[in-house]
């Protein structure tokens, strides 16, 4: 015990001799005038009151030393109180030392330590404590598992999560709504949607608003926006009233999928007072309209908002940027400054993107040079701006002079520019850096493969494919989604289509070829005959989506709205320009980085994307 006291009282952990007189001379906290007196100091009640006065860990060492020297070290209730304070403040090394001194800690104390590790993002330690607890025969309870599942989810440790799930079932705790909710979240985050669905279904009547919010939010954040919207519909059918947390997740899913009809319906219910609202929900609605290409509706909502914060302004600036109206984005930025709203890093990034999408190199450079401490994201946007304009050597020079280490976003921007301008040498330099920074990422290899294919270097394409196969890297699957009559339809590349869609696609292809469209087969990634390449291009998901709307939409004049998760290829971009003329209709397409508004054979991006 003396050594532990010495360790507590001496900063840096060096041991010194300590006497009881030294401990008694440590001043107690002064109490305010007219406050109730402390209980007698050298009693359990006195120490408990003293601990309650320490909301932080800074002065706990002195109190801990007093507890140890007065014989209360065996009183787990006092040490538990200390452990809770330490865990809440993130002092986990000190907390673990304290825990190790405790004789036969109860389950509540184990849970406190696990919770402290999980809250401090020390997830492996949280799981290790749980496993140690099980080895010692301590029976976990319903307060143990939520934080253990949080740790498994953060570690993406599916197998550990499944093993612990088995323990939960054996103990009969799988119907507990808190445990079940965290279990669902864990399976969603480790990409096991089948188990997530099974657990959620088995929860039955324990499925309260918190559980619904958890599963909807998990799907929204993991890129499964379609499942998030499906669960929201089920939640409403079950009679569970949504709150602002629900709406934020649902609206963000609408933005991801471009589900304008669902977003508009929710907005209407919010205005009628049926659904709750706050500035966070309104900002998310702005994002929905912006990412659905509806900037008029977004601007109307923005002007009607009773209060606006920097997120509101940033969302609008970013919205105009991705919709190809760079000048309006810049005008709004200057208006923001005129109204005294201080921009943040997100705002400035949105303005740089506006300059990049609009080819406004001079304005973008001027803004970038005015930044006191640009972030790596700002540098990536600047590289994108310079590189897209064809100044590849200048972009490379900026990277070499960066005061901070360039990340994958910076090198990825350079690689994209090299693909656009077919600069093989510099593209390979960027790709080599990306291999070092993100060896488990396939997207940059696909980009490099596209460049080699466009240059006809099929031997290099095959080398990349072999590398991806041996490394078990898979290409991100491309898909396009459209909304029709309130339902979202998703198409992947090469999707099987019915005869009606196939007929429309063939007729449209014949029509655009008659107007001068010629397939750009350099983007086809197979060393096959030109005719086969053309056939492969017809199976791209955005073309299937166009044919689907033409085939099944009753409104033959409204714009065709398509959302794509990847960058649109050059040939589909050209095809869409001709299709807008052939159909006499606007085609609004959002790809990974921006909107393309195709009208009368022209695109809002001016072929700069």
Which helix (H) or strand (E) covers residue 489, if one does? strand 487-492
Q: Kindly indicate the confidence band of residue 24, based on its pLDDT and cuts at 50, 70 and 90.
A: very low
CB 493 within 8 A of CB 539: yes
Domain boundaries defined on the chain: 2-103, 373-476, 479-603
pLDDT digits (tens, 9 = 90+) for 182-240: 888 888 888 777 788 788 887 777 888 888 888 888 888 877 888 888 899 999 898 88
More confident position, 527 or 194: 194
HSE-up (13 A, CA, CB side) for residue 343: 26
Is the pLDDT at 2 greater than 50? The verdict is no
More confident position, 13 or 587: 587
Q: Kindly indicate the confidence band of residue 51, based on its pLDDT and cuts at 50, 70 and 90.
A: low
The pLDDT assigned to 11 comes to 39
d(CA 597, CA 605): 8
The pLDDT assigned to 256 comes to 86
Show the CA angle centred on residue 182, arms to residues 180 and 183, nearest 5°. 60
Which helix (H) or strand (E) covers residue 232, if one does? helix 225-237
Say how far residue 581 (Cα) sits from the centre of its chain: 38
CB 185 within 8 A of CB 148: no
Helix, strand or coil for residue 482?
Answer: strand
CB 529 within 8 A of CB 579: no
Residue-level length of the chain: 609
Contacting residues for 317 by C-beta, under 8 A, at least 6 apart = 329, 332, 333, 336, 347, 350, 351, 354
CATH number of 373-476: 1.25.40
**Average pLDDT estimate for 105-111:** 89
d(CA 207, CA 210): 8
Is the pLDDT at 70 greater than 80? The verdict is no
Q: Which residue has the tokens 């506006």?
A: 354
Rounded-to-10 torsion of CA 121, 127, 129, 133:
150
Tell me which DSSP letter residue 480 carries: E
Tokens of 197: 């669905």
Beta-bridged to residue 490, according to DSSP, are 481
Helix, strand or coil for residue 560?
Answer: strand
Beta-bridged to residue 598, according to DSSP, are 587, 603
Q: Kindly indicate the confidence band of residue 61, based on its pLDDT and cuts at 50, 70 and 90.
A: low
Binning the chain into helix, strand and coil, the percentages to the nearest 5 are 65, 5, 30
d(CA 158, CA 488): 30
d(CA 183, CA 180): 5
Is the pLDDT at 274 greater than 70? The verdict is yes
């Amino acid at each position: 015990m003396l050594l532990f006291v010495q360790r507590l009282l001496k900063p840096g952990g060096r041991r010194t001799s300590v006497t009881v007189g030294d401990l008694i001379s440590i001043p107690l906290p002064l109490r305010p005038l007219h406050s109730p007196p402390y209980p007698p100091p050298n009693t359990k009640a006195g120490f408990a009151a003293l601990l309650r006065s320490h909301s932080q860990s800074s002065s706990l060492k002195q109190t801990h030393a007093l507890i140890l020297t007065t014989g209360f070290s065996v009183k787990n209730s006092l040490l538990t109180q200390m452990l809770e304070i330490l865990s809440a403040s993130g002092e986990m090394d000190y907390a673990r030392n304290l825990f190790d001194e405790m004789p036969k800690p109860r389950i509540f104390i184990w849970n406190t330590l696990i919770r402290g590790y999980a809250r401090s993002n020390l997830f492996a330690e949280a799981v290790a404590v749980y496993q140690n607890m099980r080895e010692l025969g301590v029976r976990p309870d319903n307060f143990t598992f939520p934080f253990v599942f949080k740790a498994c989810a953060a570690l993406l440790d599916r197998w550990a999560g499944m093993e612990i799930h088995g323990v939960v079932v054996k103990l009969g705790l799988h119907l507990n709504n808190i445990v079940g909710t965290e279990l669902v979240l864990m399976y969603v985050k480790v990409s096991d949607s089948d188990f997530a669905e099974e657990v959620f279904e088995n929860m039955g009547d324990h499925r309260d608003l918190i559980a619904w919010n958890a599963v909807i939010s998990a799907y929204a954040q993991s890129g499964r926006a379609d499942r998030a919207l499906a669960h929201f519909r089920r939640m409403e059918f079950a009679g569970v009233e949504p709150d602002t947390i629900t709406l934020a997740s649902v609206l963000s899913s609408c933005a991801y999928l471009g589900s304008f009809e669902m977003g508009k319906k929710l907005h209407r219910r919010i205005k009628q007072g049926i659904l709750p609202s706050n500035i966070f929900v309104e900002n998310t609605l702005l994002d929905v309209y912006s990412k659905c290409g509806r900037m008029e509706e977004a601007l109307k909502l923005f002007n009607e908002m009773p209060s606006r914060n920097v997120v509101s302004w940033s969302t609008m600036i970013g919205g105009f940027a991705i919709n190809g109206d760079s000048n309006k984005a810049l005008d709004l930025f200057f208006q923001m400054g005129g109204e005294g709203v201080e921009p943040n890093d997100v705002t400035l990034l949105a303005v740089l993107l506006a300059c990049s999408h609009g080819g406004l190199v001079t304005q973008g450079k001027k803004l970038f040079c005015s930044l006191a401490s640009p972030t790596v994201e700002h540098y990536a946007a600047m590289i994108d701006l310079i590189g897209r304009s064809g100044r590849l050597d200048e972009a490379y020079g900026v990277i070499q002079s960066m005061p901070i280490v360039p990340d994958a976003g910076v090198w990825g921007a350079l690689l994209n520019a090299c693909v656009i301008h077919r600069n093989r040498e510099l593209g390979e330099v960027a790709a080599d850096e990306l291999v070092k920074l993100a060896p488990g990422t396939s997207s940059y290899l696909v980009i490099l493969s596209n460049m080699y294919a466009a240059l006809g270097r099929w031997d290099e394409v095959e080398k990349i494919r072999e590398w991806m196969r041996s490394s078990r890297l898979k290409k991100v699957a491309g898909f396009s989604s459209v909304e029709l009559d309130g339902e979202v339809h998703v198409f992947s590349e090469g999707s099987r289509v019915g005869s009606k869609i196939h007929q429309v696609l063939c007729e449209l292809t014949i029509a655009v070829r008659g107007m001068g469209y010629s397939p750009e087969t350099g983007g086809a990634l197979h060393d096959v005959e030109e005719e086969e390449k053309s056939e492969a291009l017809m199976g791209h998901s955005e073309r299937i989506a166009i044919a689907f709307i033409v085939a099944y939409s009753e409104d033959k004049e409204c714009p065709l709205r398509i959302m794509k998760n990847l960058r649109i290829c050059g040939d589909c971009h050209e095809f869409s320009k001709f299709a807008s003329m052939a159909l006499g209709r606007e085609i609004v397409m959002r790809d990974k980085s921006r909107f393309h508004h195709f009208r009368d054979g022209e695109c809002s991006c001016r072929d700069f994307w």
